[in-house]
Structure formats: C-alpha cells, structure tokens
Amino acid sequence: MPAIRAVVFDFFGTLTRSVQRGPQHADIARALGTDPETLVGVLDRTFRARACGRYGSAEATLRYVIEQAGGDSRPSAIRAAMPARVDALRADTQLRPDAVSALTAIRNRGVRTAVISDCTHELPAFLPGLPVAPLLDAQIYSVEQGVCKPDPAIYLAACAALDVDPRDCLYVGDGGSHELTGAAAVGMTPVRLAAPDLANHLVFDADTNFAGRKVRSLTEVVTMIDSVPALV
C-alpha cells in the first residue's frame, strides 16, 4: 500500500452507526397529510436525484417529495416542516463510538481527513455541529457538488480540498453508492468498513462485489495507517 497523506471517509454507516429512518419521518408525513409508507417510497426512489440537488433548494426538494406523495405542499406547510426534516435526519444519526478517537489519532499522525457523503440538504445543516466536524479538514456533500458517488468529480473535489493526490489517500466506506469501486477508479486505496451493525443499514446501490481490504472498526484504520509510512 502506498504512503498515506489523507483518509477520506463516507459519513452515513461509516462515521455513523447503521442508519434506519426513525419515527420522526412518519410524524412529518402525517403533519403534511400523507401516508408514511407512501412518503418512504418517494424518498427511496428519489434519493439519488435529491442527493444530486436535482430539485433545487431544501424547501423546493421537500415540496417536490410531498407533492409526489400526495400531501400538503403549500409553501406555508413546507416551511413549517423544514426544521422537523433536519431534526429527523439528525435523530437517525449516531456517531460510531470510536469516530472521534480515530479521527483524532489520524490527525495526530499528520494525516489529513475528509468526509464525502451522498446526502440531501439536511446533512450540511447539522454535521458542522457534530463532534467530528472540527476533526475533518474538508466536508464534501453531493447535494452541493451536483454529483453523487461513484462520479470521479466528487472524489477529486475532496483531493483538491485536501491538496493531495488520490494515490496518497485511503477511502473508507461501508460500500453504498458503489463508492469503493469509484474510489479505486480515481486511484485511491479503498477500504470497506464491515462493522457488524451494518447488516441493518439503509443503503442504496451497494458495492456488493468489492473484494478489497476490510476493517471492522474505525480504530483499525489507525492501525492500517501505522503499518505504512505517512507523507507529511
């Protein structure tokens, strides 16, 4: 494995524990006059388009989703639901117990860190308030980039923000969005996080055929870094 200057992480299911939609999503559906299962179906089938920012602002995106689900899409209703939408995504998000310690250890070794997430508008609204935020040198969101993984542009955006060559980067992810094969295609060294809790993770377009390196915890990423020299 080449020397490492940076580690780029996926967010949901990687820096966080397994994610499932919690009860607050159903509350939003009912408040906007639609069936929760219908809303989930719309959220699932539009995820990639929403994560690429295809429907515009956060408010415009929620309006589109609620229209598709047959709910109350009046501007006043959508505006009132916006804070609840952010709160629902935040409630679904639990950082891994070793996320802060692993990121701290990586940075203490002179290695830069970043996150790349296929996400909708809500994550950029709340990630900056999480304990991992000060430990990330760059935060790359698909909804702001206009592309999702495995598009090369999203990986290269992280490398540009970190001022590193892709060949000097580890990419760590659970494998959603074909992210591991995408990372390999731009020259990064991909590593699958195969944590036990991910059996129940909400994932789209999983990298099911990936046969590369695996770790079972974020702490093991630190051990992997220690096995090769870092470029500082």
pLDDT tens-digit map of 59-88: 999 999 999 999 999 999 999 999 999 999
Q: In this predicted structure, what is the pLDDT of residue 16?
A: 96
* Least confident segment among 16-25, 53-62, 144-153, 203-212: 203-212
Report yes or no: 170 and 195 within 8 Å, Cβ to Cβ. Answer: no
Structure tokens at 91: 């409630």
pLDDT of residue 230 exceeding 60, the answer is no
pLDDT digits (tens, 9 = 90+) for 112-138: 999 999 999 999 999 999 999 999 999
Mean pLDDT to the nearest integer, 217-231: 83
Packing angle of the helix pair 75-91, 23-31 (nearest 10 deg)? 170
Please tell me the pTM assigned to this model.
0.93
DSSP of 140-189: EEHHHHT--TT-HHHHHHHHHHHT--GGGEEEEE--GGGHHHHHHHTT-E
DSSP, collapsed to helix, strand or coil, labels residue 31 as helix
Q: What is the mean pLDDT of residues 32-39?
A: 96
Query: What pLDDT, on the 0 to 100 scale, is given for residue 1?
Result: 53
Rg (CA), the chain: 18
**pLDDT-derived band of residue 2, with 50, 70 and 90 as boundaries?**
low
CA distance 190 to 212: 7
Burial (CB count <10 Å: 0-12, 13-18, 19+), residue 87 = middle
**Using 50, 70 and 90 to split pLDDT, how confident is the model at 95?**
very high
* Residue pair 134/57 in contact by the 8 Å Cβ criterion: no
Q: What is the pLDDT of residue 231?
A: 44
Q: Residue 3's pLDDT is what?
A: 77
Q: What local confidence, expressed as pLDDT, does residue 200 receive? A: 82
The residue-averaged pLDDT of 171-190 equals: 95
- Mean pLDDT for the stretch of residues 190-203: 88
